[in-house]
Amino acid sequence: MKKISVDILLPCFNEEKTIGESIKRIHQVMKKNKEYHYSIVVCDNNSTDHSRDIASKKDAIVIIEKEKGYGATLLNGIHSSKADYLVMLDADLSYNEKDIPRFLKELDDGNDLVMGNRFKGTIEKNAMPFSHRYGSRFLTDFANLLFHTPSHDYHCGLRAFKREEILKCDLSSHGFEFASEMIIKAKINHLKIKEISTDLFCDGRDKPPHLKTIKDGFRHLFLIIKVKYQTSFLAHYFNSSLSKKQ
């Protein structure tokens, strides 16, 4: 029986302090799961430190995306992959790599997109700032209200999905709002979405996080409103009317 192929995507921008340990831990987990043929793919966002060299020495594939942005980096990984399943998680040791097999099992059971929910798991003290916690809950509730999505944590960075199904969603966001776009468009395209608990730890960086609370929060908000407008009845009506006139 042919093994299911899995690419584990690690978005990376100057993560030399944590990337090696992150890859090591994932190898330890995945080598115990013989039913999958896996690769670790470091989706590098043009790092200027030693991240790429460290990753290569740890038996990871490195691909480079020069256009800046979390979404641009992951889109490069998704479109470069040939695997059946994809898993994404941050390279800063903030997510529990031991949960990866649980996410893959949910794909085996027929789901197309498996979301992590940090609020149903354990959030280590100081792992999520107050502003991120309540900003995430607001944006999640707002998006759920507009799109009736089943997520309670729109911004969890640990996810697993079937590559062919996600490609149907035509994702295009290049910033952190990519996380919201994936859920919304998965719902619009009738993908089967499952949410399960996961944990969040303090990251291993010695520098501030890449996420900018206010700036990236507004980018998520604008994305949610933009997609809602584009998929509304009035938008379809006007687009259809314009097409007939041309």
pTM of the model: 0.87
Cα distance between residue 13 and residue 70, in whole Å: 9
Convert 117-130 into a string of H (helix), E (strand) and C (coil): EHHHCCECCCCCCH
The pLDDT, as a whole number, for residue 244 is 47
Q: Which strand (E) or helix (H) includes residue 113?
A: strand 113-117
At 25-43, the pLDDT tens digits run 999 999 999 899 999 999 9
CB atoms within 10 A of CB 66: 10
| Interacting residues of 139 by C-beta distance below 8 A, sequence separation 6+ | 154, 155, 180, 217, 220, 221, 224
Q: What sections of the chain are H helices per DSSP?
A: 19-30, 51-57, 70-80, 100-108, 130-147, 163-167, 178-188, 213-230, 233-245
Tokens of 227: 């997609």
Between 9 and 244, the higher pLDDT residue: 9
Number of domains in the chain: 1
Q: Measured at the alpha carbon of residue 32, what is the angle toward residues 29 and 36, in degrees to the nearest 5? A: 95
CATH number (domain holding residue 129):
3.90.550.10
Q: CB-based contacts of 81: which residues, under 8 Å, 6+ apart?
A: 7, 9, 41, 163
Angle made by CA atoms 166, 163, 180, in degrees to the nearest 5: 35
Q: What is the extent of the structural domain holding 228?
A: 4-245
Element (H, E) at 12: strand 4-12
Tell me the pLDDT tens digit for each residue of 56-97.
999 999 999 999 999 999 999 999 999 999 999 999 999 999
pLDDT for 208: 57
**Joined tokens for residue 64:** 């480079």
Q: What integer best gives the mean pLDDT of the chain?
A: 88
